[in-house]
Amino acid sequence: MANSASGESMIARVVRVIDTFGVDRTVQTASEIGRRAGLPSSTAHRIIDELVDEGLLERDLEHRVRLGTRLWELALRGSTALRLRQAALPHMESVQAELREHTQLAVLERDEALFLERLSHPDAVSNITRVAGRLPLHASSSGLVLLAHADPALRERVLEGPLRAVGPNTITDPAVLRRALAEIRRSGFVSAPGSIEAVSTGVAVPLRDRGEVVAALSVVLPREAPVEPALVALRDAAARSEADLRDDAPLTRQ
Ligand code: PHB
């Protein structure tokens, strides 16, 4: 693998190029990508050209660059995320149809909650979650469930802080967070009013694959809405998703 003068591998440079894209930055010029990736302009342009040739990046008519559909295709093929999403989606649809509120599926990814799916409703409360977007573990209801069941080393790392306040009621005190996580493990759910936004309450439950927590299912409710009906619907959806994951039926039946 050809390394740059700094010793950085070609793959590391390619990842840096791809990593300049974000949920709020989906289209960029080649020069912007080079600058954000910290690469010399000629290197950035060469890598971008090759990635465009391979379909991993795409150029629009104004020559601006976006992530290619082929990247999406390759990333999803056979991925754990797709398997989870396929098992959970029909049951998330039931939750969404019943509650008419945002329903979402998240996994732990590099110390954050990464959202694999979000079903919305036109009349539902404000929601900052995006598919393929991330939220801090200590602030989102999904993140709290994932953190409660995470590897203890990760949990301690997060507890060391800093615990940034995202909403008016985000837990920012490590001792309070530690107690909240123990309570989530005990009760099997979390209700987090005002943790992300003042107007809403996130409610989340764990989703297990062969006994291990692999995801969180959540809904975002208006702040004062009752939690119990959402909890019943989420628990039912999690149990059904877990059963589908167990026999992998939705994946093999085409
Ligand atoms: C949550 O997961 O707790 C959550 C996510 C997005 C929001 C509100 C709450 O907008």
Report the pLDDT averaged over residues 69-76: 92
How many Å lie between the centroid of ligand 1 and the Cα of residue 200? 7
How many Å lie between the centroid of ligand 1 and the Cα of residue 24? 18
Q: What is the pLDDT of residue 1?
A: 53
Nearest Cα to 130, choosing from 111, 146, 112?
112
Q: Which of 196, 219, 227 to mutate to test the pocket of ligand 1 (most atoms within 8 A of CB)?
A: 196
Which residue reads 């559909």 in tokens? Answer: 69
Q: What is the pLDDT of residue 254?
A: 36
- In this structure, the residue with its CA closest to atom 10 of ligand 1 is 127
* pLDDT tens-digit readout, 155-189: 999 999 999 999 999 999 999 999 999 999 999 99
- pTM of this prediction exceeds 0.75: yes
Report the pLDDT averaged over residues 22-43: 95
The CA distance from 164 to 221, in Å, is: 22
For residue 221, list its beta bridge partners.
Answer: 201
Query: Does the Cβ of 241 fall within 6 Å of ligand 1?
Result: no
In 3-state terms, what secondary structure has residue 218?
strand
Determine the length of the chain: 254
* pLDDT tens-digit readout, 226-246: 999 999 999 999 999 999 999
* pLDDT tens-digit readout, 76-131: 888 889 999 999 999 999 999 999 999 999 999 999 999 999 999 888 888 888 89
- In this structure, the residue with its CA closest to atom 8 of ligand 1 is 196
Positive or negative, the CA dihedral 142, 152, 154, 78 is negative
Domains of the chain: 10-75 (1.10.10.10), 80-245 (3.30.450.40)
Query: Does the Cβ of 201 fall within 6 Å of ligand 1?
Result: no
How many Å lie between the centroid of ligand 1 and the Cα of residue 67? 26
